[in-house]
């Protein structure tokens, strides 16, 4: 059996998304910046996709900008938000994706900002009391906190953070790459400044994402070139990717409650089976349904003697999972997230991440293999 449980890294392309993309590839090849009929036809397709995304997020189409993915969207929001608004103090957590952390660290090295990392507890929850204290002491700050951690799944109350930032006149950016398409995001209600998404996290294509910029928050382009994306991002649009992104998000929202209930059931089932099968099993992050991303489960195993071989053994058994963030695979320094929450470095940790395509039979197969690895080879 081949089992794919690395959906936080990327998801399989939905067949309906592929069909929409192929139709666009076959029939519509004009450059959307061209003024002739072929170009205007493709421009209309891009704008229809923008309207679809905007409608689902309850914002204006003019607030949605298509990008090459979540990393570019994060970089754009952070760099332009800080520089264009003359902000000299940024606040984030040590658990953020490197698209956020490394960008802020570079701005600090360049002397643009002073960077403060919030305290986090052993479940990966950020200290919101510390955040308010920092905001009250600064003239204006830039805050970047992800909605759900990509490695351990712990959720942050971004509605509460947004209200705090408004109270203290701070700009607020949230990397919602892991939760976009899995939760309803009413951005008009949230009143956030920047939100990012990537299509391949919700069964769309790789290489395309978007940045939401609140109409009250003005920034300059991050990538210069042509006048694409209403002069906000130079470069010919990835038309097929944009079509796929909009279709994938539309499908995700159409089935969001059904898929959430089903996937949460798979996660709960795996937790119960692991507890029953392997003594001293532990979980990283907050695993309560109300405080945890339902697609992610980070497991800490007691079999320290095979720690270095855990993922390899799973792979040769036909199971695809991750040791943490896929963007850090191959790194020998370990997960910065697990280090920050004080996870036992001697115990192997595996991130299992689920989607609508997974089954209980697959969970049973995976748990059985894990039991063999941890007990029979101990």
Catalytic residues: 327
Contacts of 172 (CB under 8 A, 6+ apart): 143, 144, 145, 158, 161, 162, 165, 192, 193, 194
User: In the 8-state DSSP scheme, what is residue 117?
Assistant: E
d(CA 294, CA 317): 25
* Beta carbons of 193 and 217 less than 8 angstroms apart: yes
Distance, CA of 78 to CA of 101 (rounded, Å): 10
SS3 48: helix
Provide the sign of the torsion angle of the four alpha carbons 285, 94, 11, 17, taken in this order: positive
If you search the block for the tokens 């001697």, which residue do you land on?
346
* DSSP-H helix ranges across 138-255: 158-167, 187-190, 228-231, 239-254
CA-CA distance, 277 to 220, in Å (whole number)?
Answer: 54
The whole-angstrom separation of Cα 159 and Cα 128 is 12
């Amino acid at each position: 059996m081949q089992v794919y449980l690395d959906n936080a890294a990327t998801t399989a392309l939905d067949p309906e998304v592929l069909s929409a993309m192929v139709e666009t590839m076959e029939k519509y090849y004009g450059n959307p910046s061209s003024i002739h009929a072929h170009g205007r036809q493709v421009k209309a397709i891009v704008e229809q996709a923008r309207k679809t995304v905007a409608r689902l997020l309850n914002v204006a189409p003019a607030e949605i900008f298509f990008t090459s993915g979540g990393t570019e969207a994060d970089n754009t929001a952070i760099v332009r938000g800080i520089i264009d608004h003359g902000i000299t103090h940024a606040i984030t957590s040590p658990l953020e994706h490197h698209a956020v952390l490394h960008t802020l660290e570079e701005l600090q090295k360049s002397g643009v900002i002073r960077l403060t990392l919030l305290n986090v507890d052993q479940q990966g929850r950020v200290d919101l009391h510390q955040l308010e204290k920092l905001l009250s002491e600064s003239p204006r700050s830039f805050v970047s906190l992800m909605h759900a951690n990509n490695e351990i799944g712990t959720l942050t109350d971004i509605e509460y953070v947004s209200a705090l930032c408004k109270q203290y006149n701070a700009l607020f950016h949230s990397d919602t790459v892991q939760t976009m398409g899995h939760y309803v995001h009413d951005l008009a209600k949230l009143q956030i400044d920047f939100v990012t998404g990537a299509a391949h996290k919700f069964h769309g294509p790789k290489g395309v994402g978007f940045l939401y910029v609140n109409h009250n928050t003005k920034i300059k382009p991050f990538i210069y070139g042509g006048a694409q994306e209403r002069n906000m991002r130079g470069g010919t649009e990835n038309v097929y990717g944009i079509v796929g992104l909009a279709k994938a998000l539309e499908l995700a929202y159409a089935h969001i409650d059904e898929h959430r209930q089903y996937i949460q059931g798979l996660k709960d089932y795996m937790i119960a089976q692991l507890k029953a099968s392997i003594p001293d099993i532990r979980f990283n992050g907050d695993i309560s349904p109300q405080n945890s991303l339902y697609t992610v489960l980070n497991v800490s195993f007691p079999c320290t003697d095979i720690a270095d071989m855990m993922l390899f053994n799973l792979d040769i058994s036909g199971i695809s999972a991750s040791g943490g963030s896929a963007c850090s695979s191959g790194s020998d320094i370990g997960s910065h997230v697990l280090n920050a929450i004080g996870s036992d470095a001697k115990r192997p940790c595996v991130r299992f991440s689920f989607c609508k395509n997974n089954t209980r039979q697959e969970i049973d197969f995976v748990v059985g293999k894990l039991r063999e690895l941890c007990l029979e080879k101990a």
